[in-house]
Structure 1
């Protein structure tokens, strides 16, 4: 095996990493899986496989990069995934949500004592998770996957993963082939693995983010504070954010419905937060697609999709890091467990060990947040009502119970009934305010357009 790994690293063109998948092989030879994509989903899958004795090949086109991301994770992820505390940039204990009319709700009054929302940089987290996968025995393969050759015999023949090596030690455009028993696609919203196996299309949003380094006194304001802005000026179907990092703030927004207008929406969040980020210097500009809902097919043959490739980003909140890592670990373990029991990996086994367990655990959460997005993000009236509801202690307590520990909070019939009436009342009260805000925004936009025409 050492010679095979060395061959993959050198990758002279044409090159091939070959391990026989014939029926004459020993029944308990190590399972070999290509994990495409080295973010939290791929790294967690590779670590789970390697820890179970499988040969995991983690292919990542840009090992020094990372997906643009707000970087908030639930508190439970630190322990569940053994994330060192020194990787955390900020421990947010104050969350502020601002309505279209700039009414603010302090969303942290019900935060349990000692609890916080960890903020990390993705390049730091992703690099750590990849190193840990390598320490567990996974082989890191720097390269861009270009295609996937499907097996002639779906049950026994290998998958051929074609990629272009980006290993600095070899030729810059060496083409290589990796032969494996199964494939895990963790390569993001525009997943090539998903396209190669016909996993179906889905709608995507675009997230746009600027990293802004602030003067010390301005940065001190965001020491333990994160802000979320809602309104048609920052996004027609999502929110804008100002999240603190080690020495800068991440300022961004996202949208599905108005992707061509993303720069105008980014200007909107900059304008809303202008007084707090004044004097800051933009040190990085980032944009990236994110999925809007799970993909139609997440398991096809012996190919499974995890993380963004599977569509595991919640609407309403836009959260994806925890779900990426959780799905990758669950899928890797399911493949390794089935191989250990039967000496094979099958579509039925992956569906049972990974997909069914994932849906049982998280389907309700995703559907609930999808409902909230449709109710509250349809217009400024709904957004005003959302911020009003965010000030409610019952809402905050149930939200933190669900978010911090990744479990749906148990029903509280009387409290939930009161919340329903408050929601209805807020929607009625905020209808007039929301329409007025929308009218003023339109007037502001018309005035700005006239100024541009004059100049």
Structure 2
């Protein structure tokens, strides 16, 4: 549990973490900052590494070191260099992407991939283990769920979508989706087909609000889906994605089945006192794509750096300092991107007509180029005025062809008629 004055929070590690009520006085003695990082995924490991590298005493708590969150495993290319990910950790280098519509219209999403670029694919258990070892090499102390009491100056909650740290400090609730996937080992010939290919399937049959996927791993593929629907629906959706992939995964052997909640939006409060939330615990997963690995690692690093910087400057860690040094930096860099992707999901994932329009647009080379600029390098680059105008026109045209705009206009007309009828009655 995490104790801050009168507040008590139970950590997943089932031991007590007490936030000292007099951290500034302790700092005056010259001792280093002490931080408990609860959760050993990319967010927690990156936070612990940043803290330890600054000279802080970081305690990285992970109750299940052998486990890992079910994940497609794709990371943006920029993460390899930014987080010094060894090349040997990358299982596959995807250079071909295919998006399939509800009617199985396929869009080759690879024509605008920059020369030499690729999407690295890796296994979370491999990445997480590496990041934890690197945090330990930097000086962090790994705590594998030991019982006891640990007194610290601040806490980083990196314990996932069902964060107990967040719940106990009253950080507020948020909607979560369920990610479900099967790891399937394919015959050699079938695996060769997915050597450098990732497939994404959209349609109400595979997910009413997300997409299904077939992503290549080291010696197998990950076949999965995600949805905010009730758990019983997952089996039906997973059956559908396997049916859509059809003969391409026929003869495969399921070697692992995984499921895990993922957040749909940021949590209402990401900093409470001297407790800061990062990664999935903070809600840093994009709704449109479900991407979270990079944002987890980046938020953990930013949070750890903010704590260390404030301690070095003032001899304390405060809520105001964390909001200024961590949240403001995060929001300035990524809030617009999250809102944009949220809007895309609302526009295109509402029904199969919208999904057909989305896939039609995915075939456009300008759309692909803008997508790769944003995804591979995590930056929102201003578009070309003429290109943006053409994109707007193509978007409207695609939506009209697929019936989205027509249905929306009809809905607005019905609302207008109902309003007029109500006025006449009055």
TM-score by length of 2: 0.89
Return the alpha-carbon distance in structure 2 between the equivalents of residues 23 and 417 of structure 1.
55
- Name the SS for the 1:179 alignment partner: strand
Question: Which of 319, 330, 346 is matched with 1:358 structurally?
Answer: 330
1:416 counterpart = 2:418: no
Secondary structure of the residue that 2:209 maps to in structure 1?
coil
3-state SS in 2 of match to 1:102: coil
Deviations 1:150-201, CA, capped at 9 Å, x for gaps: xxxxxxxxxxxxxxx2xxxxxxxxx311111000000000000001100000
Aligned to 1:327: 299
Q: Within the alignment, does 1:217 sit opposite 2:219 as a pair?
A: no
Which residue number corresponds to residue 78 of structure 2?
A: 76
Q: Distance in 2 between matches of 1:404 and 1:370?
A: 19
Residue pairs, 1:175-214, within 5 angstroms: 175-214=147-186
Offset of 1:411 from its aligned partner?
Answer: 2.5
Q: Show structure 1 runs of 5+ residues with no match.
A: 1-12, 144-164, 166-174, 436-455
Picking from 387, 394, 410, the partner of 2:359 is 387
Q: Displacement of 1:26 after TM fit?
A: 5.3
Over 3 Å counting, the alpha-carbon distance change for 1:23 and 1:76 in structure 2 is closer
Corresponding residue number in structure 2 for 1:138 = 140
Shift >6 Å, 4+ stretches: 13-20
Seen in structure 2, the aligned counterparts of structure 1 residues 97 and 133 have a Cα distance that, compared at 3 Å, is: same
Provide the residue aligned with 1:376 in structure 2.
348
Determine the C-alpha separation between the residues in 1 that align with 2:113 and 2:185.
28
Root-mean-square deviation over aligned CA pairs: 1.9
Distance in 2 of aligned mates of 1:113 and 1:349: 42
Deviations 1:252-298 (A, max 9, x none): 00001344301100001000001100000000000000000000000
Structure 1 match to 2:410? none
| CA 1:22–1:96: 2 relative to 1, 3 Å | closer
Task: Output the CA distance in 1 between the equivalents of 2:245 and 2:228.
Answer: 22
Displacement of 1:430 in angstroms is: 1.7
The CA distance in 1 between the partners of 2:319 and 2:288, in whole Å, is 32
Would you say 1:232 and 2:204 are equivalent positions?
Answer: yes
How far the C-alpha of 1:356 sits from its partner, in A, is 0.3
**Which SS does the other structure have where 2:338 is aligned?**
helix
- Whole-angstrom CA distance in 1 between matches of 2:337 and 2:76: 14
Provide Cα deviations, 1:27-53, integer angstroms capped at 9, x if missing partner.
Answer: 131000000000000000000000000
Q: Please give the alpha-carbon distance, in whole angstroms, between the structure 2 residues aligned to 1:207 and 1:277.
A: 20
Shift of 1:332: 0.1
Q: Distance in 2 between matches of 1:100 and 1:26?
A: 60
C-alpha separation between the residues in 2 aligned to 1:254 and 1:15?
34
Q: 1:417 to 1:257 in 2, by over 3 A?
A: farther
Equivalences for 1:248-267 in 2 at 5 Å? 248-267=220-239
Matching residue of 1:62:
64
After TM superposition, the structure 1 = structure 2 runs for residues 82-93 of structure 1, keeping only pairs within 5 Å, are 82-93=84-95
1:17 Cα offset (Å): 9.4
Structure 1 SS opposite 2:103: coil
**Native 8 Å contact 2:74 2:120 kept in 1:** yes
Match of residue 45 from structure 2: 43
SS in 2 for 1:242: strand
Q: Which runs of 5+ in 2 are unaligned?
A: 1-13, 408-426
> Tell me, what secondary structure is at the counterpart of 2:207?
coil
TM-score, normalised to structure 1, is: 0.84
> For each residue in 1:58-102, what CA deviation from the matched residue of structure 2 results, as whole angstroms up to 9, or x when unmatched?
000101111000000000000000000000000000000000000
Residue 401 of structure 2 is aligned with which of 412, 429, 451?
429
CA distance in 1, matches of 2:15, 2:389: 66
Q: Does 1:345 align with 2:317?
A: yes
Q: Comparing 102-111 with 421-430, which one deviates more in the overlay?
A: 421-430
Tell me the distance in 2 between the aligned counterparts of 1:94 and 1:287. Answer: 26
Q: Which residue of 2 aligns with 1:367?
A: 339
For residues 280 and 171 of structure 2, the distance between their equivalents in structure 1, rounded to whole angstroms, comes to: 13
SS in 2 for 1:68: coil
Please give the secondary structure, in 2, of the residue aligned with 1:326.
helix
Residue 128 of structure 1 is matched in structure 2 by 130
Residue 110 of structure 2 corresponds to which residue in structure 1? 108
SS at match of 1:254: strand
CA distance in 2, matches of 1:363, 1:287: 27
Determine the structure 1 residue equivalent to 2:119.
117
